[in-house]
């Protein structure tokens, strides 16, 4: 991770096809394309590789969530349960739908705590949205059982876990719908892009329409298409889809490299008694885009971060003070700094956001160190890195 580290001839070939025929838009202009439909081809690849009936590409992972919530019928008056550790797009997409995000604790998987989800359900709850953070999965059996018990929908945000699986099923293809991001720093990149996966044929039809101004896409005359529903412009371009099409054909290669590099570093750190690792509900399904481990205390974690810097080790984070991924620094969200008026039910639902505490999550995030696993490292470089990391950690113990 990320796929841009290994751009090559496959991506160039797909891009050149688009540039040579000159059709950069994914819909229409049939006669000019010379048979090239990169978005449709990438959607078919996603369906085949993830074992789902439908895939809809969008302009980003965020708009994939926007579309997913729309086709699930989420809107004003509804609540969506999400984790307090995620990317800001999770709550942005819920707010954009008109619904209220309900943030709850994570557990040692670094994803939704099922007990916290159960406790947060109200008559307004419509969707539970686990976020498979840092390459690994939520406890999907427990979350699905909760959704079944309360007649709720399960929406997987798998934007950071492309290529991972859970008990033989691909992440993003397990819930009622799932989403991916293909931005510049994801395992498979389009530069910018996203996708919605589902086995629900109604969701698929609506997603195709909603992401393109409500067009029905019937026939081959775009000007004659009708608009069965209201929609927005969340389309991907053929150029972006072409990059992703070249990348996804290397999916197994990329995931294999991640897993090799991850295993080498984890083995080295496993020799240190003070280091513990995140719990992974299905270790075989870890996409291994990140290695996440805990130190015994936040103080030790901070000292390790300093040691990493002094030893010249890069690509690591502690999210406790990060303003993108953890609620502690989401001041713009807590203060509802919206350019447009928010509905009364959203303002009421989030009125106590500044005061809510997440002690379990604070403890986990403050002790956690998350290390990116790069695709471009050689095996020798990974082993050298693992040795340096172990040495740096031991230097502060």
Catalytic residues: 186
List beta partners, residue 371: 291, 316
- CB atoms < 10 A from the CB of 9, how many? 8
DSSP states along 105-166: -B-TTSSB-HHHHHHH--TTEEEE--B-GGG----HHHHHHHHHHHT-EEEEE-TT-TT-EE
- In Å, how far from its chain's centre is CA 10? 24
**Ramachandran assignment for 128, one of left (phi > 0), alpha (psi -120 to 50 degrees), beta (any other):** beta
CB 56 within 8 A of CB 65: no
Spatial separation of the C-alpha atoms in residues 262 and 153, rounded to whole Å: 33
Q: Is 281 exposed, middle or buried (0-12, 13-18, 19+ CB in 10 A)?
A: middle
Q: Is 229 exposed, middle or buried (0-12, 13-18, 19+ CB in 10 A)?
A: middle
**Ramachandran assignment for 36, one of left (phi > 0), alpha (psi -120 to 50 degrees), beta (any other):** beta
- In Å, how far from its chain's centre is CA 97? 18
Spatial separation of the C-alpha atoms in residues 161 and 171, rounded to whole Å: 7
């Amino acid at each position: 991770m990320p796929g841009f580290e290994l751009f090559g001839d496959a991506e160039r070939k797909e891009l050149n096809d688009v540039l040579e025929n000159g059709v950069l838009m994914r819909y229409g202009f049939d006669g000019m394309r010379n048979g090239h439909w990169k978005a449709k081809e990438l959607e078919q690849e996603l369906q085949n590789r993830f074992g789902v009936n439908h895939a809809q590409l969008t302009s980003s992972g965020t708009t994939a969530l926007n579309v997913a919530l729309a086709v699930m019928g989420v809107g004003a008056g509804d609540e969506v349960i999400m984790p307090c550790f995620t990317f800001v797009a999770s709550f942005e997409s819920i707010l954009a739908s008109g619904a209220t995000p309900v943030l709850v604790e994570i557990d040692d998987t670094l994803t939704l705590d099922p007990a916290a989800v159960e406790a947060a359900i109200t008559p307004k709850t419509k969707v539970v949205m686990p976020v498979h953070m840092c390459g690994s999965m939520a406890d999907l059996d427990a979350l699905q059982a909760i959704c079944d018990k309360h007649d709720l929908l399960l929406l997987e945000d798998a934007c950071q876990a492309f290529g991972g699986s859970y008990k033989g099923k691909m992440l993003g293809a397990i819930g009622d719908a799932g989403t991916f991001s293909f931005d510049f720093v994801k395992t498979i990149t389009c530069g910018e892009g996203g996708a919605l996966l589902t086995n629900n044929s109604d969701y698929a039809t609506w997603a195709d329409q909603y992401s393109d101004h409500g067009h029905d896409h019937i026939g081959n005359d775009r000007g004659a298409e009708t608009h069965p529903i209201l929609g927005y412009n969340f389309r991907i371009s053929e150029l972006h889809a072409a990059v992703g099409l070249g990348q996804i054909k290397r999916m197994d290669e990329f995931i294999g490299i991640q897993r090799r590099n991850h295993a080498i570093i984890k083995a080295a750190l496993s020799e240190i008694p003070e280091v513990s690792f995140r719990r992974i509900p299905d270790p075989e399904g870890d996409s291994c885009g990140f290695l996440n481990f805990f130190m015994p205390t936040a103080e030790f974690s901070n000292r390790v971060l300093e040691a990493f810097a002094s030893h010249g080790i890069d690509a690591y984070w502690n999210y406790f003070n990060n303003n993108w991924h953890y609620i502690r620094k989401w001041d713009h969200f807590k203060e509802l700094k919206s350019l447009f008026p928010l509905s009364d039910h959203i303002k009421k639902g989030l009125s106590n956001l500044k005061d809510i505490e997440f002690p379990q999550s604070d403890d986990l995030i403050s002790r956690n160190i998350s290390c990116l696993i790069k695709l471009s490292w050689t095996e020798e470089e990974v082993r050298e890195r693992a040795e340096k990391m172990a040495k740096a950690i031991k230097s502060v113990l």
